[in-house]
Amino acid sequence: MKALVKFLIRLVIFGGLFFVVANTTPTRETHQQAILRQMQKEADRDPLLQIGGILHEVQERLGISPYTYHDYKLLSLMKDGQGQNVSLGVASRVFVLKSGFFE
């Protein structure tokens, strides 16, 4: 009986954690904002690179994104045209995996 109670408690805890993580997956817009921030950090090193950031922002506003969004419920990814991961989102946080956007 004690084993069943422990199992049920663990099941409720893991189920709750799964529910929380699954419902806090970052959206496409959150990924786009994180990528744009990373691009701006890189462009701060060279003023000419700011043109690339501006063009990227114009593309995003027109709905022409070079990245595709994938929602896997527990995490989300943005991939570029070659299928490489650009950003990873978990529990309302987005981590930009790519650097050198202007190279």
Tens of pLDDT, residue by residue over 31-87, are: 988 988 888 888 777 777 777 667 777 777 777 778 889 988 888 999 988 888 989
Does the structure show a pLDDT above 80 at 8?
Answer: yes
The model's pLDDT over 12-34, given as tens digits with 9 standing for 90+, comes to 998 888 888 777 789 888 998 89
pLDDT at 95: 93
Q: What gap in Å lies between CA 15 and CA 24, rounded to an integer?
A: 14
Does the structure show a pLDDT above 90 at 89?
Answer: yes
DSSP H or E segment with residue 79: strand 76-79
- How does residue 103 score in pLDDT terms, banded at 50, 70 and 90? low
Q: Where are the alpha helices (DSSP H) in the chain?
A: 2-22, 28-43, 50-62
pLDDT at 102: 61
* Phi, psi for 51 (deg, rounded to 5): -65, -40
